[in-house]
Amino acid sequence: MTELARILMVRHGHSEANALGRFAFRRWDPGLTALGWEQARSLVSDLAGVPIAAVVSSPLRRARETVIPLAEARGLSVSDVPGLAELDMGRWDGHPLVELARDDPEAWRAWRRDPEASPPPRGERISEVGQRVMAALDALPRAPGELVVASTHSDCLKGVMVHLLGVSGPQSRRIDVPNLGQLLLTASPRGWRITLAEAGRI
């Protein structure tokens, strides 16, 4: 059987933004909490014995920190890939969720219902996120049998699933990606194949 190139997408560990219930994108770049660092270290044992060709990351701190222990354990560096950055929240970047629901309830409810038709003010649609992330992943050097680990964000994994499955943007609301959630993409002659990753069985 021919070995295929694979990319393991990993959502970052628990971050300070998660702990505070705030959106974070460009203007505010928080790191991991103590729990997040524990999750990052667990990734090392989860992937023990799995050959890894490269480790790449969103340039945002919480994503980079998530794969630093893994990269160090494998003697690899972490390469920044701007296309893996979190969904652009526009004017909502860095604001507490409860504040947005209170101060801009109509736009907030519309976005919660349909992130495709009603993106954040000056922000990205979920389909745009999927296209951006897939373009970044398609551009990564890869070879048969190699695994690339890509640290990114929840809406990036959702966007990729929406994009590859050809479903509408609102369906992303039915996808939940926990901290350290993983998605394995395998390159095939017919395009990318999606596998829900299981720790230790990549």
pLDDT single digits (tens) 109-130: 999 889 899 999 999 999 999 9
99 annotated active-site: no
- Is residue 201 assigned to a domain? no
- Is residue 158 assigned to a domain? yes
Buried b (16+ CB within 10 A) or exposed e, 56-75: bbbbbbbbbbbbbbbbeebe
pLDDT of residue 3: 64
Collapse the DSSP code of 53 into the 3-class scheme (helix H, G, I; strand E, B; otherwise coil) and give the result: coil
**Structural domain range at position 145:** 6-20+32-87+125-196
pLDDT of residue 146: 86
Pair of tokens at residue 122 = 């000056």
pLDDT of residue 94: 80
- Is residue 62 assigned to a domain? yes
CA atoms within 13 A on the CB side of 48: 5
Q: What is the DSSP letter of 87?
A: P
pLDDT of residue 1: 36
- Per cent of the chain over pLDDT 90 is 68
- Is residue 192 assigned to a domain? yes
Task: Write the burial class of residue 144 (CB in 10 Å: 0-12 exposed, 13-18 middle, 19+ buried).
Answer: exposed
Pair of tokens at residue 174 = 């039915």
Q: Name which of 135, 70, 12, 96 is nearest 127 in CA terms.
A: 135
- Is residue 100 assigned to a domain? no
| Per annotation, catalytic residue among 3, 65, 72, 86 | 86
pLDDT of residue 59: 96
- Is residue 102 assigned to a domain? no
- Is residue 72 assigned to a domain? yes
Rounded to whole angstroms, the Cα distance separating 86 from 101 reads 21
pLDDT of residue 173: 86
Average pLDDT over residues 136-140: 94
Is the whole-model pTM more than 0.85?
A: yes
12 annotated active-site: yes
For 53, 105, 149, 152, the CA distances from 182, given in Å and listed in that order, are 17, 32, 10, 10
- Is residue 182 assigned to a domain? yes
Task: Write the burial class of residue 44 (CB in 10 Å: 0-12 exposed, 13-18 middle, 19+ buried).
Answer: middle
Give the CATH number, domain containing residue 51: 3.40.50.1240
**156: part of which helix (H) or strand (E)?**
helix 154-165
Mean pLDDT of the chain: 90
* 141-177 confidence digits (pLDDT tens): 888 888 999 999 999 999 999 999 998 878 888 899 9
Report which residue type is found at 34. Answer: A
The count of domains in the chain is 1
Rounded to whole angstroms, the Cα distance separating 11 from 30 reads 15
